[in-house]
Amino acid sequence: MSEHEYTPKSKAGKWFNDRLPLLTLGAHLTDYPTPKNLNYWWTFGGILTFCLITQIVTGIVLAMHYVAHADLAFASVEHIMRDVNYGWLIRYIHSNGASMFFLAVYIHIFRSLFYGSYKSPREVIWIIGLMIYLLMMAAAFMGYVLPWGQMSFWGATVITNLFSAIPLVGDSITTWLWGAYSVDNPTLNRFFSLHYLIPFLILGLVVLHIWALHVPGNNNPVGIDIKKPSKDTVPFHPYITIKDAFALLVFMIIFAGFVFFTPNVLGHSDNYIPANPLVTPAHIVPEWYLLPFYAILRSVPDKLGGVILMFSAIFILFVLPWLDTSKVRSAVFRPIYRQFFWILVIDVLMLGYVGAMPAEGIYLVLARVGTIYYFLHFIVVMPVVGYLEKTDPIPMSISEPVLTGGAEPSLARKVNDKV
């Protein structure tokens, strides 16, 4: 990975490192040359790692007190809130932590979209990241079922019922998922099991995500290839670690604000009503971070069509590196794409909003327009704009933002020749 050889100073260190080069790995991580112009949008990788660890640690403690049984789950959550020492704090960190996790991951994903971080040679980082995102959604959905409140139960019913749209085998698959003929105790048990498993899968993928990142190195706001190490880079420690720490602390202040002062504002009040299979809530809504996809699902009058479209909305992101035809990474130098990027951001926010509203009238119209634009953005706008757009001149290096050569031009030169 890095070009320089590392030799531990102490004899014992050398003896150990010859057998398992953990110290070399540590040295690689501290010295890792990082572009010096990374802005604060780049601090969310560290923040997300913090979120994952927080969820795992609080989750392990919660699991010591939680009872995964349809008759006892709701009461065991109240037991955690009332009788476990600081149980309320641990649970509120965990439940709000899920929201903070998604907030951070959405910023992380849109940062990648803006600066073209998914493009060659970083496609594998992007794809692993999407796999993490998919697993996060699965973990969050199953976690929301565990308190066994009304939204838990009916959310689980709606989402598992989606699989019944599959032709021929749909009903059998749904029954198999439930382990019963409806969402019931076996469903709760398996969701708990999987909810405990998935974070560790995510942790493994995070290791791969970072490994894949350390092969080409970080993209940067200018989006050009840089020579590493050079005057364009800084060692990861202390420069990036201290900056990540600062950003993380700001993030934690917001996080603490939710946990201590409005711990239930992101949840639905119906989830404090114990699950009742005989009473359907007036509006079944998922957690906020799944709302855009819920809006896409409901925008199609046909159940199977809606399901296909909803899953396509996620899976289309996997082929994004090949849909984007532009040779320039960063939207900073792409005046046309940049406008479309912000339209996409508004589009997704709008889909999220109408996802929380009843699927009728103006909301249904907005959901349909939003869904169509979402797909147009990836299928039409990205390839076409990439071909037609006249990009702004690109600097040769980070240190010299003017076009005077130097550093490693590679990508920059190619594009400037075209311009």
Partner 1 sequence: MIKSNIKLLVLSFLLIISFRPLQSAEMVDPIKVDWSFKGLTGTFDRASLQRGFQVYKEVCASCHSMQYLSYRNLGEPGGPEFSEQEVKAIAASFEIEDGPDSQGEMFTRPGKPSDKFKSPYPNIQAATAANGGAYPPDMSVLVKARKGGANYIYSVLVGYEDPPPGVTLDDGVYYNKYMAGNKIKMPNNLMDGLVEYADGTESTVDQMAKDVTTFLAWAAEPELEERHKTGVKVIIYLVLLTILVYLSMKKIWSRIDTEV
Interacting residue ranges for partner 1, rule: CB under 8 A? 36-37, 75, 78-79, 81-82, 88-89, 92, 234, 238-239, 242-243, 245-246, 249-250, 252-253, 256-257, 259-261, 263-264, 269-270, 272-274, 282, 338, 342, 345-346, 349-350, 353, 357-358, 361-362, 366, 399
Q: Which is nearer to partner 1, 238 or 393 (CB)?
A: 238
C-alpha span between 341 and 339 (Å, rounded): 5
Q: What is the DSSP string of 92-153?
A: HHHHHHHHHHHHHHHHHHHHHHHHTTTSTT-HHHHHHHHHHHHHHHHHHHHHHHTT-BHHHH
To which H or E segment does residue 235 belong? Answer: strand 233-235
Helix axes 185-214, 123-145, angle to 10 degrees: 160
Closest-CA residue to 393 (of 384, 385, 406, 402): 402
C-alpha span between 225 and 411 (Å, rounded): 7
Burial class (CB in 10 A: 0-12, 13-18, 19+), 89: middle
Structure tokens at 156: 């689980």
How far apart are CB 375 and partner 1 at their closest, in Å?
20
Q: Which is nearer to partner 1, 37 or 54 (CB)?
A: 37
Do residues 205 and 128 lie in contact, with contact meaning Cβ atoms separated by under 8 Å? yes
Do residues 160 and 187 lie in contact, with contact meaning Cβ atoms separated by under 8 Å? yes
How far apart are CB 28 and partner 1 at their closest, in Å?
20
Do residues 278 and 287 lie in contact, with contact meaning Cβ atoms separated by under 8 Å? no
How far apart are CB 392 and partner 1 at their closest, in Å?
11
Q: Which is nearer to partner 1, 349 or 384 (CB)?
A: 349
C-alpha span between 330 and 317 (Å, rounded): 18
How far apart are CB 78 and partner 1 at their closest, in Å?
4
Omega of the bond leading into 221 within 30 degrees of 0 (cis):
no
How far apart are CB 353 and partner 1 at their closest, in Å?
6
C-alpha span between 294 and 311 (Å, rounded): 11
Structure tokens at 161: 């019922």
Do residues 348 and 286 lie in contact, with contact meaning Cβ atoms separated by under 8 Å? no
How far apart are CB 255 and partner 1 at their closest, in Å?
9
Q: Which is nearer to partner 1, 241 or 416 (CB)?
A: 241
How far apart are CB 333 and partner 1 at their closest, in Å?
11
Structure tokens at 233: 């880079």
Q: Which is nearer to partner 1, 358 or 406 (CB)?
A: 358
* C-alpha angle 71-72-75 in degrees, rounded to nearest 5: 125
Distance of alpha carbon 378 from the chain centroid: 18
Do residues 156 and 187 lie in contact, with contact meaning Cβ atoms separated by under 8 Å? yes
How far apart are CB 297 and partner 1 at their closest, in Å?
19
How far apart are CB 410 and partner 1 at their closest, in Å?
22
How far apart are CB 95 and partner 1 at their closest, in Å?
12
Structure tokens at 316: 């289309």
Half-sphere exposure of 331 (CA within 13 A, CB side): 19
How far apart are CB 346 and partner 1 at their closest, in Å?
5
CB atoms within 10 A of CB 265: 9
